[in-house]
Chains A and B, each alone.
Chain A
């Protein structure tokens, strides 16, 4: 609500930016990326610094700090995948019940993760550490859908791809900074894990504060680009549900009924099928090492390569999605992944190969992660935005989980090369299917899937 009142008076100049001045194209009267998106991006950046600090030192803490054996640590991962899917759906649904809840549900998720950091100091054995990590991930599951809903609600349909791109780029920047901060602290201390967790906690609290202070509550923050007026933007939140007249009430049944909408069903199916052929990151890095003989010393840096490419490409590809069509870019992203697989399958072992594969892998994320949310947003009414996005995310996450199980089994049975070949063929078939099924049309303001 905070920003809504300040915005109401000056809708046109609410967020003047070089962007809007430089690109005075048809109907782009509002800044491409609103302050809410920037605020949410800042929250994600700060939170990712905090969480990646912990992630980076946790193995070292468990083995060297506590002297525990970390094997069997991930035993609960499989069970937890199912649970986190439920949490995500619940978070999406809760956020939709009554206007203005997105912010508070997301805030609860951020706060829960923040509280986990000092708890890590007290957990001295594996079971409590596992529980704290599970709580941390529950917070992440809870906040993801409401946060993405807030991003989509505070950006106009024509610029949503860019808004998500900016957010994902900021998020990734935080993820890259976190480990760096953590190791600086470890360097300045001896066994300074307590300091790492404490600093991580302070950083996380800062993230929650930025959310509370600078992200407007409710759907009221919407710049209402269709109307081009601030009147709608300032409408009271409680009426948000009825404002659309025929809009569905945010019940659980309504959330599930979303799947009857052809646009959302289309994009969910697309994400699901393509997700079924998307090999998980750790396998990609392992394959890189197996096939190309990346030295062990560099192995830990492979995810950094993907993240850097994601960071670089998120905004340009988000903008491209706005202009060229989100489905096109989403499919093209999978094309990049296909190319990466193909490179892994070739017998060419040039020194540029790891860079090319990681660049394509990051490009895949840049073209699919935020872009999918932007595309899905257009198929879901505002009142059910969180639930709808949660559905798509959950579908995709479960599909990828199934794929990683299947890929692991295929690797065992046939070896890495054949398994990757199978994934490549499956991915190509899925991508082809969607290209034929719904021929790509030019971007229309009304049709986000175009």
Chain B
């Protein structure tokens, strides 16, 4: 083959490859336009004020296609499938309590996206914001509204690197004091101080007295439920095999996802409730794998997200192991009961 032929072959291949590449990008960007159109049969959504102190409302990230996609929307708590009021504030993850909201959102930079955690007041105005070091995963606010916490996935920056870690941060919204990683806390495991480079924290849930929290800690392949002390800056292990704990309003139980043996590696979790006084575990009546930090609607009812046609749907289930899961809303994620 002469140089000329080779160059010709290369140029023709280049033309074909460029065509394929362009077509795939155009196809994907056409999808973007489709998603800006509201789907028929989807929930009714109208722009309007969303308040974190309005009585008995459910606020969540709306995932239905249309102009209000990814915005915080609110519905009456008694009619979660009803018409939605869209706030214009976009979040990937969200939670709120007592008029304080935490919203994890993407910031589109020139080269790549970065993430930040925004503290919102009752009318969704930004009070403060903090850098988030990776892809947002969980968000929580303490029942009093004073503390906020979030978890992010960090990793994947080396060639075909597949090691991920998580980082959990806690901020005192009153003083602005940030603990950017719970790894800064002293770990007490089985009564002794424990240190390891491979420790990961995720899924913080706060107690009502603003003095403590529960979270998941993982080290050497085991996950632990830890109880944290905000003043002493310690975490103490209390149970194993607990991920994404969520403390009940009365503070006596923790709902969580548990890695169950025999389930597929990609869908390994079933929902459980742990009684903190007795240590008794109750399996819940949800046969599917749930990857979410559940929310307590009241002391007897749980709400959580499962994958759906438009990203995710919200489901509800009794916390005592009885009943059957019931879908309460489609195209919604990150719910919080307010007011």
Contacts and interface: CB of A to CB of B under 8 A. Distances in A.
Nearest to A194: B28
Nearest to B18: A202
A186 B32 CA distance: 11
Most buried by A among B92, B111, B265: B111
Interface string A29-42: 00000000000000
Interface stretch (B47-55, B82-90, B153-161): B153-161
A296 B131 contact: yes
B280 interface: no
Given A189-B31, A206-B14, A125 B21 contact: no
Contacts of A185: 25, 28
A202 B161 contact: no
A179 B133 CA distance: 17
Contact of B17 (A137, A179, A180, A202): A202
A126 B265 contact: yes
Chain B interface size, as a band, is 35 or more
Contact of B20 (A64, A71, A191, A198): A198
B175 interface: no
Nearest to B29: A189
Interface in A395-450: 408, 411-413, 415
A192 B158 contact: no
Contact of B160 (A2, A55, A179, A213): A55
A63 B153 CA distance: 8
A192 B113 CA distance: 14
A244 B70 CA distance: 69
Most buried by A among B18, B21, B133, B158: B21
Interface stretch (B190-198, B227-235, B320-328): B190-198
A210 interface: yes
A281 to B, nearest CB: 6
Contacts of B163: 73-74, 77, 282
A195 interface: yes
Contacts of A195: 24-25, 27-29
Contacts, number: 164
A215 to B, nearest CB: 11
Contacts of B196: 412
B70 to A, nearest CB: 10
A55 B156 contact: yes
Most buried by A among B157, B162, B200: B162
A238 interface: no
A6 interface: yes
A133 B162 contact: yes
B13 A206 contact: yes
B166 interface: yes
Nearest to A299: B133
Contact of A71 (B35, B112, B218): B218
A408 B196 CA distance: 9
Q: Tell me if B's interface is mostly helix, strand, loop or mixed.
A: mixed
B293 to A, nearest CB: 12
Nearest to A54: B160
B108 A209 contact: no
Contacts of A411: 197
Nearest to B108: A187
A303 B6 contact: no
B114 interface: yes
A125 B263 CA distance: 14
B37 to A, nearest CB: 12
Contact of A55 (B17, B32, B159, B180): B159
B126 interface: no
Contacts of A408: 197-198
B180 to A, nearest CB: 7
Interface in B202-236: 218
A9 interface: no
Given A297-B114, A299-B133, A125 B6 contact: no
Contacts of A77: 162-163
A206 B17 contact: yes
B135 A63 contact: yes
A131 B135 CA distance: 23
Nearest to A125: B266
B14 A183 contact: no
Contacts of A183: 111-113
Most buried by B among A69, A282, A411: A69
Given A70-B153, A303-B158, A59 B265 contact: no
A282 to B, nearest CB: 6
Interface in A48-76: 51-52, 55-56, 58-60, 63-64, 67-71, 73-74, 76
Contacts of B218: 71
A59 B21 contact: no
A191 B1 contact: no
B131 A295 contact: yes
B135 A126 contact: no
Contact of B158 (A126, A282, A297): A282
Given A51-B160, A126-B266, A297-B131, A67 B166 contact: no
Interface string B258-272: 000000111000000
23 contacts: A55-B160, A59-B135, A63-B135, A63-B153, A64-B135, A67-B312, A68-B291, A126-B265, A127-B266, A136-B160, A183-B112, A188-B25, A189-B29, A190-B32, A190-B35, A191-B28, A192-B25, A195-B28, A202-B18, A205-B13, A213-B1, A213-B6, A412-B197
Given A191-B31, A282-B161, A415-B195, 9 more contacts: A55-B156, A70-B162, A74-B162, A198-B20, A199-B21, A206-B13, A296-B133, A300-B114, A300-B157
